[in-house]
Amino acid sequence: MTPKELNYRHLGETMIKKFEKRNMEAFYTATKEEALKKVLELIPEGSSVTYGGSATIEECGIKDAVKSGNYSFIERTDAITPEEKREMMARQMMADYFLMSTNAFTKDGELVNIDGNGNRVCFLIQGPAHVIVVTGMNKLAFDIPEAFQRIHNCATPPNCVRLGCKTPCSVTGTCGNCLSPETICCQEVITRYSRHPGRIKIVMVGEDLGF
């Protein structure tokens, strides 16, 4: 085990206790493969499962595994028209499990997210019975200001490139605090506590994942 891998493990063990204080259950896994196994352990077969846009979920193979498994998978990209998208939102709202990553998390155990349409943070806050957040340890920030700095300058620019958004940061590589019609920085949400015990579970991964 390298010093970085060992440090990630130590941080993960510390963060489990931090999340517990905020009524969120957390787990540490060393690799993407372990994370996938843990996520599948947390979801009973037959459950309805949906997801929010996430490079981390894709990188870990979680979406494909659930889609091909014994679950009722709700594929959000099946909705095309505005009417279908509204109906899809309602279906996702009632899902048993919602899978997502987080843009950042702090050493005090807060989840920090910025969203464009708001569907991802919406379901984190309310709706699906259970939320599973999968995050690489590279998204750990010291505090909320540092978390937002990380999101604006490390996560959003490459995400805008990935999504083909015509924003200043997709060209310059750094946040321009824009009011572009295609900005994905519309909603800022800090999750500092879960009122419902056991609803939010965080699976930390000792690898650099996502953006």
pLDDT at 194: 97
The predicted-structure confidence for 21-79, as pLDDT tens digits, reads as follows 999 999 999 999 999 999 999 999 999 999 998 999 999 999 999 999 999 999 999 99
pTM of the model: 0.95
pLDDT at 170: 94
For 106, list phi and psi in degrees, rounded to 5: -95, 165
- What residues of the chain score a pLDDT lower than 70? none
Task: Pick 3-142+186-205's CATH classification: 3.40.50.10420, 3.30.1020.10, 3.40.50.720, 3.40.710.10.
Answer: 3.40.50.10420
Cβ(78)–Cβ(53) below 8 Å:
no
pLDDT at 1: 84
Where does 44-191 have alpha helices with state H? 55-59, 62-68, 82-93, 119-125, 144-150, 156-163, 168-172
Cβ(49)–Cβ(55) below 8 Å:
no
pLDDT at 193: 98
For residue 119, what are the CA distances in angstroms to 1, 35, 65, 124, 125? Answer: 39, 24, 23, 9, 10
pLDDT at 83: 94
